[in-house]
Every structure is written in structure tokens, then in C-alpha cells.
Structure 1
Amino acid sequence: MLDNGKVNDTQVIPPDWIADTIQANDDVIAAYEKSAYAEVFEGFHYRNQVWVKDREKGAFYGIGVYGQLLYVNQKANVVMVKLSSQPDVQNTPMYLDSMVAMKGIAETLSK
């Protein structure tokens, strides 16, 4: 996901699929904005099981259960994984705090 589907010289995921996921289209974005998730994950869109925060930077999240989180920021060339064993299947405030921290780390590293 970091390198648009490429590992070394091998294309393992079609780059068009990744571009579609990150950029989405007006219909996808409009549907997301009408969903209950838009109030919680403001400024995101959801496509292909990926929560996209910043289309320009290629910054997106994969959200798992019990606190697990994946963050990719293509522009900053950063991937972060948070492995967890939280007591609750879903803890939205914890996810949001982790997202802010991951974004901040990526921005600091890319300076």
C-alpha cells in the first residue's frame, strides 16, 4: 500500500485499485458524508475497507478490533502498526487518540 502496490520490482496489487481506494469518487465521498461514521471520523472517506484521511498525502488507516490499527502515509513514506489487546472490541476515543499520534509522528519524521 505504501508504494502503490509494488514490492521491489513486482506489482502485487493493481495500482488502479489503490488509486481508487485513496481518491474514491464523488459518490463514495457523498455516501460516507451521509453515514453515522462521518460524525466520528470527520474528514475521512471509506473505500475498500480502508479509512482514508488525506487523499493528497495518501494517508489512510486500517482499523482492526481490540485496538489494532494500521497507518500508511505515502507522502511521508511511513507505515505504522499498533498491535493491541484492549478489553473492548471497539474503543472509538482510543482509536481517535492513536490516529492523532500516528499522524503527528509521520509529520515529524517527514520534516
Structure 2
Amino acid sequence: MSQILAPLRPTMTTPELLQCSDNQYHHIIFGIGPYIADYPEQVLISGVVQNWCGRCIAFPSDLDAGGPSRTTDLMDTIAEETTATVAWENWGVNVNTTVGSLYSILFS
């Protein structure tokens, strides 16, 4: 692993002068690291309610049945067209962490 990451070492120890989006120059030290999360954190980040399928809209009681794919568009539509309670209980969607809701928080 150290051989694979060796070319990255200089940028993680020596600052580089870069122009940032604010048109100012800043000294940047790059870093790399894993994001380790347990199951509850993983589903929270993904916008899926715990025990629901992360790939499709299958009910927790019948995960083998499958269902429509859990796409970003579908998740956002459910979040927009239903209440938070209905989205949580009927669709397994946490409307507080869908891509659309996070985008509106970050860029509003």
C-alpha cells in the first residue's frame, strides 16, 4: 500500500500554492483518508431509512420482492410530493438527507 500511495506523499506533506474559487491564493496541503461508518451512519448519509433496501424500494418485510430502483430522481420526487412521515414510513426515504434537500441547504 505504501508503494501505491508514495507518489501522493509530497502533496500531503508540502503545501502547494493554489488559486481558489475566491480568486485568492492559498497554501493547500492535500490529504487522503477513509470514511469509515457503521450501518446507521451509512444509511443516514444515503437518505435511506434503516432496514430498507438501499438499491430499490422494497419493503423491509419483503426485501426479496424487489421494486423500482432507488434513483436520485425518485428519492427527490418522493421528498417533494409527500410529507416527511409518509416518505419515511411508506417509501423508506429520509427527506432530510436526499440530494435535493442537501443541495438546497448548501446553495440557498
Query: The TM-score by the shorter chain falls in which range?
Result: under 0.3
Higher strand share: 1
Taking structure 1 as the reference length, what is the TM-score of the superposition?
Answer: 0.23
